[in-house]
Amino acid sequence: MSKIVFIKQNSPEIRAKLREVGFRVCPCAEFEDSVWLDHHPYLDKLKNDIHGVGCTDGSLSELPPLERIQRWLTWDGWFSEEKEFFDTVEEFLEHYKAKKD
């Protein structure tokens, strides 16, 4: 199963909260344009990883990060077909826990 889960917020406090409960937060989550976070709960190699969303090395770089994300969400194949969205990290943590290695 391939699924991507989005947390529609990102801050140092949110990243710290995720680390406290056992998630690994990728350095890309700290990039200025990484305004959202994502998680791939069903991919074993990424099961505890959190990544930043919104930064780019070229695709739609002329757009602000939120507009970029909205556009990417409309593109087939850019993200997994199955998507889940959480407005806050607290909502995310009610549904997802870090898995023991």
Write the pLDDT tens digit of every residue in 34-86.
Answer: 999 999 987 766 778 999 999 988 889 999 999 999 999 999 989 999 999 99
Please tell me the total count of domains within the chain: 1
In a domain, 74, yes or no: yes
In a domain, 101, yes or no: no
In a domain, 36, yes or no: yes
pTM over 0.75: yes
In a domain, 56, yes or no: yes
The one-letter amino acid at 62: E
In a domain, 100, yes or no: no
Categorize the per-residue pLDDT at 25 as very low, low, confident or very high, splitting at 50, 70 and 90: very high
Categorize the per-residue pLDDT at 101 as very low, low, confident or very high, splitting at 50, 70 and 90: low
The CA radius of gyration of the chain, in Å to the nearest whole number, is 13
Can you give the pLDDT at residue 34? 97
In a domain, 72, yes or no: yes
Are the CB atoms for 89 and 18 separated by under 8 Å?
Answer: yes
Burial pattern 34-51, b for ≥16 Cβ within 10 A else e, equals bbbbbbbbeeeeebbbbb
Adjacency order of strands within the sheet including 36-39: 24-25, 49-53, 36-39, 3-7, 82-86
Question: Residue ranges of the alpha helices (H) in 1-101?
Answer: 12-20, 65-74, 89-95
In a domain, 86, yes or no: yes
Domain extent, residue 40, equals 3-95
In a domain, 45, yes or no: yes
